[in-house]
Structure 1
Amino acid sequence: MNSAYTEFAAVYDELMSDIPYDLYVELIDEAVHGLDGKKVLDVGCGTGLLSLMLTKAGAMVDGIDLSEEMLSVARKRASAHHQEITFKRQLMQEINEREIYDAAVIPIDALNYVTDPQEVFQTFKNIYHALKPNGHLLFDVHSTYKTDEIFMEGPFTFDNGRIAYIWETFEGEADHDVYSEIAFFVKQESGLYKRFDEAHHQRTMPVFAYVEMLEKAGFTIERIFADWEDEPPTEESERIFFQVRK
């Protein structure tokens, strides 16, 4: 059970404000030829921001996540916007629905928290069965360049006046494996800072390894691109996107 995203849930959206979730909405909308009335599974939904955006675009959305703290934020967000979204605490490798969804999405390197390759394959198989015929899966992962080179350039620091962190990274025992220890400092109304610590473990694989697993699970690869651009990955790409079809 991953201990990541506990108290972090309260500050997650602020720290992730530069993520272009609207582009993910566009990608899914294009893949399914219009979101209106389509059923979408948001895997690793976090605080539900993408789920809400997909719902407002006309989709019917279910979201799953491992963190109950994240899901609590997601439920409050949906309620505040008067949207009906079903959120459930579940491991992505334990999805067990059958031919329900027009599309599934695993956004913002959530798949990299599944660090056992066999469980990654199990996730693909389960999502394949959860999709309707011709249903689509879209997801992104860290590149091996990012885990092996960029992450190893730490420690990283951040301070916006309200939230600060010190993020240390360590090479794992497996290939393309990274451990992160992050100390957060969040300013309180009193002016004092509250500290909390997070531990994260992520692992990625080369593009060809994902392709082999996806095809073995039954998917057809439609396109692979990088860094939010409609361009093929390069040796220094950081985020790899996959769009595949059942």
Structure 2
Amino acid sequence: MVYSKLAYIYDVLMDDAPYDQWQTFVEHFGNQGKMLDLGCGTGRLSHLFSNVGFSVTGVDFSEDMLAYAQANTTGVQYIQQDIRELEGLTGFDVVISLCDVINYITSVSDLEKVFANVRKTLADSGLFIFDVHSLKHFEENMAGQTFAEIYDDISYVWFCEQGEETGSVEHDLTFFLLNEETGQYERFDEQHSQRTFGVETYKELLKKVGFQSVAIHVDFSIEESSEPEESQRIFFICKR
């Protein structure tokens, strides 16, 4: 998925995202050291972790996202790669992939590739921490919904439709972005596909590629969950 123009307004749209909660959650489990941020986007989380002592490398597939990140954050090394094809990255103490990045991996075979590649990047006993939306959240709160927002310089309409596969959602977004030179709004469109799987599918794939242990948490709680599918956001803490 390439964000194109969305890269330049992503921080505005994500202004209310719980970055502080992601940071606190990860810091509870992961000691400071080398961190790999997969799907780093505009670098907000990468920058936060760099500021508290992690040595951070951010990876994203989108050139526009990385260009924005490099222009607006400091202290982070940014690399363009597809997280399904990671190369040359080893010895990390913590690998994170947050804000439902893994939901953009829409097939079981690609998920297995990602998990296997992540394990190779980790140091012994390193942690892989990622989150996904639950099936219940996609089905009850996303599929069939329409969202809209109006700001001074940006407006958007966001349609979410049930995809063909179980747990999949198709996002159609239309943006109107103010051109400050002309005073006119310019329209552009984005189409994104996401998919989530049951917790057992993720656990089976993680064990298959060699992770020693997998703990399940929900909605930023540091306590393990016995009923993760009833939550909105599911976290996986995976030890190499």
Structure-to-structure mapping, 1:91-170, within 5 angstroms: 91-97=82-88, 99-170=90-161
Q: Which of 205, 211, 214 pairs up with 2:203?
A: 211
The 2-side partners of 1:99 and 1:70 are apart by: 23
The 1-side partners of 2:206 and 2:230 are apart by: 23
Letter in 1 for 2:207: E
The 1-side partners of 2:54 and 2:41 are apart by: 18
The residue number in structure 2 matching 1:6 is 4
Letter in 2 for 1:240: I
Shift of 1:115: 1.0
Shift of 1:220: 3.2
SS at match of 2:128: strand
Identity of aligned residues (%): 35
The answer (yes or no) to whether the contact 2:96–2:128 under 8 Å persists in 1 is yes
User: What TM-score results when the alignment is normalised by the length of structure 1?
Assistant: 0.90
The 2-side partners of 1:176 and 1:123 are apart by: 19
Shift of 1:105: 0.3
The 1-side partners of 2:128 and 2:229 are apart by: 24
The answer (yes or no) to whether the contact 2:216–2:228 under 8 Å persists in 1 is no
CA-atom RMSD, angstroms? 1.7
Letter in 1 for 2:58: G
Segments of 5+ residues of structure 1 without an aligned counterpart are none
Shift of 1:164: 1.4
Number of residue pairs matched? 237
The residue number in structure 2 matching 1:24 is 22
Deviation per CA, 1:160-179: give whole Å up to 9, x if none.
33321111122222111111
SS at match of 2:217: strand
The answer (yes or no) to whether the contact 2:176–2:186 under 8 Å persists in 1 is yes
Shift of 1:235: 4.5
The 1-side partners of 2:42 and 2:216 are apart by: 26
Segments of 5+ residues of structure 2 without an aligned counterpart are none
The 2-side partners of 1:150 and 1:28 are apart by: 26
The answer (yes or no) to whether the contact 1:99–1:133 under 8 Å persists in 2 is no
Q: Which of 213, 225, 237 pairs up with 2:231?
A: 237
Structure-to-structure mapping, 1:24-43, within 5 angstroms: 24-33=22-31, 35=32, 38-43=33-38
The answer (yes or no) to whether the contact 1:179–1:199 under 8 Å persists in 2 is yes
The residue number in structure 1 matching 2:69 is 74
The 2-side partners of 1:221 and 1:186 are apart by: 46
Letter in 2 for 1:237: S
